[in-house]
Structure 1
């Protein structure tokens, strides 16, 4: 047994891969596991019974369930983030990014944070109606709404549902500020609305770029836009007068951290005016999913990557402490922070949060949209 296999066994995995879903079935997906959510009474995992029959290994297809949501604006009181409200038009994300910190939320739906998260999705078709209603409520206090902080609003599903465009139309109509984060070039579809809002200082966009390596991106973020497409999106948005920054997120030690300077240089070349970064986060089930992915795709780097991750997380895979979860701690985390700051300063990329206009908001007519009782 080699050292990588031994390390994985020590972390609680089967080195022979028997717990992973067959590659033929999960083609084009990020996760290799689909273990049950933590709230389920029964647990399930894939076991190879030796009957390798083609008709028993169908490729996983994306399933979408429409959810008639009751509310659309989610509130939070987290002291280490710059917003107190957000909108998530979808649950789950077809991009399939293996490191996505939102994966554990699928357990609340009785589904797996693994393959279920990227194949069994939920759409909220009444999102725009709900938003208009909530903005019309007496006493509503306007502050920027963040979109894309959980699952990506411009994931492939958006091409069909256009929920994000509907949401933007409502926000634009009532002069409500919004901050968007995405790793999809599909955002350029809405350049017309975004440019109109930008003229009134009502919008800012951050495009997430994890790596410039297409091969790595393909395995780590299988259905997200390719790196060059994201940079092209940055350029198109910037040329349209839309304040656009690049998020180097997440920074993965010994895997993508060597690209920090190159990503920032590419961002500047494509018109970005600001930049930010977030260190790799591995909460709950994400830790197991990421370690499984790492062993399958970069077995020789497994021990080094996880050793550095734990050195920045107090010896654990993750530290959820406020103020620490985004940046980590220790010498290596400090080195990443300094490298990023120096590169951003050299390239004149702002590290400050742009403040949007909140004074121009006009409340919808009292009562907003009348919704069906059932």
Structure 2
């Protein structure tokens, strides 16, 4: 498998998780709501995806709104310590120009720091995590705020029964600080990969230089589900195995498996390939759906808030998205303060 497996960071320059937060928009769309609107069976949706409900943005709410809420909570969890850089992982920026991160930074009172977007679709959080870790390893920042936020509901054909049930909106955020590779919360070696020959499997065809933006069917998100399923299972399983080996662990030592919540069947297949039992799998897709780049950090925050993810747990992270892109890494989970479930999500 082609990909990047960086060497360990220099002593004293590992990126360590010290803050965590998430946010979901207030509007909840249930399978019953979709049945009334699209005529799709509630049982069929759940059987195919494992999703019962999802949060979606109301009119007027944009990606930066979600990012600011999640970022505020992550900064509070980290004791509101000063950060020197902000990275926003998103495929649904507020505007195609400029990037969303500088506005988010300004709204968080972080004007003047480095701020930019990273786009790797559903693998965006892991690509952003690698980038943030690089900032710290290179001595460019003592602390970095990483936010993954997406409003994929804005990209969907509202009449498409194959995509509307899958996606939800949300944001998750981490604060990373400079630390040592042997302490809890230190990000392990990362495995990253891509295959642009298969870029058409997950795509929005317009609004880029190849095709100018148009409305109607051509401008909506499209995905070739069967092929995506096959590649997602293969790429995440392989990347996860490499990441675990790079950490010097065995797969049977994994305490919690945190995979991108693309589809409950995909996650189940990947876990089966890795031999990870169901009681070690963190899951939240049933009530949030596929939140794209935000999926993994939202799951980390919810699992921490509920006590399913505890200090000392050996955690394996993996994700897969358009590009095609994929990634994986490991972390021994740290003790974090102030991570609580959102009101209504308890």
TM-score (norm 2): 0.29
TM-score (norm 1): 0.27
Higher relative contact order (CA 8 A, sep 6+): 2
**Larger radius of gyration between Structure 1 and Structure 2:** 1
